Structure 1
Amino acid sequence: MTFFDYEKSVLENLNFASGPILAILGFLIIYQILQAKKQIELTKIQLKEAKNELVINSLRDSIKLSAEQINYYMETIVNYANISNIKFKESNLARVKFETKNFLYNELISNANKIDKDYSKNYNDLVVYDLNTLNSLETFCTYFTNKIADEKIAYLSVGKSFCNIIENLYYPLCVSRKNDNDYYQNIVILYRLWKARLSKSILENKEREVKSELSQKIKDINAQKNKIDNFEESKPLGTEM
């Protein structure tokens, strides 16, 4: 028996053969779809692994950069700040410091009546030392404000010291900044972030202290209450049960 019956027409033979051929084609199509699906799933897994590896490498690089900048802060910036402070003490000139988040020139003008009129003249011989500190700080801050290094790691090591140094540099910062996009904006951005975090941390510590003191006072009061002898209430005659 042959696959084609030569006694039948070509169309009849093709019609007869179309069933098995379509079945084979259907099987091949389904097989290809299943293979494509497996490949897509494999690709997703590979992409996820590649993404995880990229995240891990980025995190590692970020931590490494943070450590390098902390070291730079300790060795270079602190040294500049210390030299500047020594020069201020030698000149007997007290630093100008006001509460601010912006460090703008117009703030300095509004506080002019609170600043010695000869401060600017006396400060001219000291400005170079503060500029050394400011320029090195701007370099330091750029890594964190642009999210190249992890600022949270650096904050734990130098956050409090950083805020203190920036507050000491109030005068040269304000003189340099006419608006918020002016010089040393990376310093100001990082200062705002770390100062807010530092202030919140201080308040949380105070809150814990107050709660601890209150808890102790309550314990003391309860202890005093327990020392008081129990007493029976007096009742009118005839009402005793």
Structure 2
Amino acid sequence: MELRDGLELVYFITGGPVLALIGVYGLKQLKISKKDISTRIEREGLIVASDQVKIFLENIIPIFDDFTKKLNESMNAGVCERFDISDFKWDTFKQEYSTEKAKEYNGLMFELIEELLLVLNALESFSVYFTKRVGNEEIAYSTMGLSYCDTISVLYPFLCRLTENGHFSNIVELTLLWNDRRTIENTEKEIDRLKKNLETKNKKKLKLWGV
């Protein structure tokens, strides 16, 4: 047997299985690393969501309350009619106004522009964490999603004007997502209620006389 043949034989006897074991071990470690990374990302997403919910409740709600106070004062003074939420077009974030009403809303918006932008900038900063999938939006929604949507409903007429050029896009994206989810949940609840109501009804039928 030549030296070369001997070396190849040694390689196949020792090196081959060893390399195979190393490969298997490496793949196993890779799977563990991916799982570990996924776990860390999920944990960070929960932490971010928790932090942002706290910011929403402790920081954004107070400045929003200040804004609504001044908004109500202006409306009570007859500056503008109150909003009819049933007319809101949530899917497009566009609202058709008569020329006169548009003037009223524009005048009100510029009257409260400082307080309005303070609220919207805070909401945009909050929303971006979830639209860019840094924070777990499902956790945030379960905690204060309804409050968020209710907040936007007050700001909606102004957002229709201010988002025309792409401003506050993260507020729009998160609102559409959460408002659709709220609509689905409400519809499912109504379906369940109707089903339960049907179950309680008398299903007795009247047969023909003499049958």
Look up the match of 1:158: 144
Residues 1:36 and 2:19 aligned together: yes
Runs of 4+ in 1 over 3 A off after TM superposition: 20-25, 93-98, 116-119
Please, which of 97, 118, 126 is the counterpart of residue 112 of structure 2?
126
Residues 1:204 and 2:188 aligned together: yes
- The change in CA–CA distance for 1:122 and 1:44 in structure 2 (over 3 A counts) is closer
Q: CA deviation at 1:21?
A: 7.3
Please, which of 78, 82, 88 is the counterpart of residue 99 of structure 1?
88
Look up the match of 1:81: 64
**TM-score (normalizing by structure 1):** 0.75
CA distance in 2 between partners of 1:54 and 1:116 (Å): 51
Aligned 8 A contact 2:146 2:182 in 1: yes
Count of residues paired in the alignment:
203
- The change in CA–CA distance for 1:133 and 1:95 in structure 2 (over 3 A counts) is farther
- The change in CA–CA distance for 1:114 and 1:195 in structure 2 (over 3 A counts) is farther
Tell me which amino acid in the other structure corresponds to 2:171. Answer: I
CA distance in 2 between partners of 1:53 and 1:196 (Å): 33
Greater Cα radius of gyration, structure 1 or 2: 1
After the TM superposition, which of the residue ranges 128-137 and 146-155 deviates more from structure 2?
A: 128-137
CA distance in 2 between partners of 1:139 and 1:122 (Å): 24
Q: CA deviation at 1:114?
A: 7.3
CA distance in 2 between partners of 1:132 and 1:122 (Å): 15
Tell me which amino acid in the other structure corresponds to 2:179. Answer: K
Q: Secondary structure at the match of 1:190?
A: helix
The runs of 5 or more residues in structure 2 that have no matched partner are: none
Q: Secondary structure at the match of 2:111?
A: coil
CA distance in 2 between partners of 1:136 and 1:163 (Å): 15
RMSD: 2.5
Percentage identity across paired residues of the two chains: 25
Look up the match of 1:168: 154
Look up the match of 2:126: 140
**TM-score (normalizing by structure 2):** 0.85
Tell me which amino acid in the other structure corresponds to 2:29. Answer: Q
Residues 1:183 and 2:173 aligned together: no
